[in-house]
Structure 1
Amino acid sequence: MIRPADPRDLISLPAVEVAAGKIFEDVGMPEIALDVPPSLTWLGGFQRAGQLWVATDDAGEPAAYCAVELIGANAHIAQVSVHPRLAGRRIGAALIDTVGDWAETQGLDGLSLTTFRDVPWNAPYYARLGFRELPEGEWSPELRSVVDRETAQGLDPAARVVMMKPL
């Protein structure tokens, strides 16, 4: 089940992020697997803004989430993570569909995100969901700021890609 996150969900989400990050070890990216999970403060900001959704497991516990920020006329997917025990069930796709539906009701133009270019469950996956690579010349100043922030946090911009999906 996918629903807007409530404050009680927040405590579970860092563990989802840690579990989801571990699979980056399999593609030679241990530094991503060891990345610090999002803080409750960061998650709470999205939750209070109504821009955080969770997917729950059979026990009703959050097992995936998607956090969205507004960037220009787009809903920017700041983070989407699915616990590996639920991999292959299209939960990430369902979360993104939910965000797309929400963005349409807000009158937004599209969904944007940044992700790893060559990780199979990143850019290739999002391309299958209808996202396309956005050439640097088409980046808005706000998207440029996202990439700059990621670079300052140690992510190699050559390994990253900005993607967009019109609504």
Structure 2
Amino acid sequence: MPEIAEDEPLPVEALAGYQGAGRAWVAVDGADCAVGYLIADFVDGCVHIEQVSVHPDHGRRGVGRALVDDVAVVAGSAGIPALTLTTFAEVPWNAPYYLRLGFRALDEGELTPGLQAIREREAAHGLDRWPRVCMRRDL
């Protein structure tokens, strides 16, 4: 799975699209330098976390948790019922991490049409070479 761990972040243009749509959150350090970000979309009435990325020098300091929690507050305040995401089931900084953040794995029968479509796209891109899971955090 090295090709996943070494995957490059999204291009600046793609990130700017999320920012322009109000669907990007950025964490900064004391010098106001970006150290992490979260981008999201709306899927079936929920906020779907597309990506959380934290610079390795700032890992294990709660940056990712803070980003997810900030999104949860904003979404909950807007009356959105849940956060969703898809991730690798067995990578320690993926599904096990999100379980600690209050997400739960969804059974196949719980997948909404939008989540099913995301999983189909992921499979088409070869991500199903490793076990994947859809997760949800009720707000």
Fold shared, TM-score > 0.5 on shorter chain: yes
Deviation string for 1:12-52 (max 9, x for gaps)? xxxxxxxxxxxxxxxxx111134343122321221011110
> Residues 69 and 76 of structure 1 are in contact (CA less than 8 Å); yes or no, is this contact kept in structure 2?
yes
Name the SS for the 2:17 alignment partner.
Answer: helix
Alignment size in residue pairs: 139
State the partner residue of 2:52.
80
**TM-score, with normalisation over the residues of structure 2?**
0.94
Which AA in structure 2 matches 1:59? A
State the partner residue of 1:68.
40
Moved more, 125-134 or 147-156: 147-156
State the partner residue of 1:17.
none
Name the SS for the 2:30 alignment partner.
Answer: coil
Aligned-pair identity (%):
49
Whole-angstrom CA distance in 1 between matches of 2:81 and 2:115: 14
State the partner residue of 2:16.
44
Deviation at 1:116, TM superposition (A): 0.7
Name the SS for the 1:63 alignment partner.
Answer: strand
> Residues 89 and 96 of structure 2 are in contact (CA less than 8 Å); yes or no, is this contact kept in structure 1?
yes
Deviation at 1:158, TM superposition (A): 5.3
Q: Of Structure 1 and Structure 2, which has the larger fraction of its residues in helix? A: 1
Which AA in structure 2 matches 1:40? V
Q: Which runs of 4+ in 1 moved over 6 A?
A: none
Gaps of 5+ in 1: 1-28
Name the SS for the 2:42 alignment partner.
Answer: strand
Whole-angstrom CA distance in 2 between matches of 1:161 and 1:124: 11
State the partner residue of 2:75.
103
Deviation at 1:152, TM superposition (A): 1.4
Q: Say yes or no: does 1:164 pair with 2:130.
A: no
Deviation string for 1:109-131 (max 9, x for gaps)? 10000111011111001001110
RMSD across aligned C-alpha pairs, in angstroms? 1.3
Whole-angstrom CA distance in 2 between matches of 1:110 and 1:156: 25
Whole-angstrom CA distance in 1 between matches of 2:42 and 2:4: 25
Map 1:97-136 onto structure 2 (within 5 A): 97-136=69-108
> Residues 147 and 157 of structure 1 are in contact (CA less than 8 Å); yes or no, is this contact kept in structure 2?
no
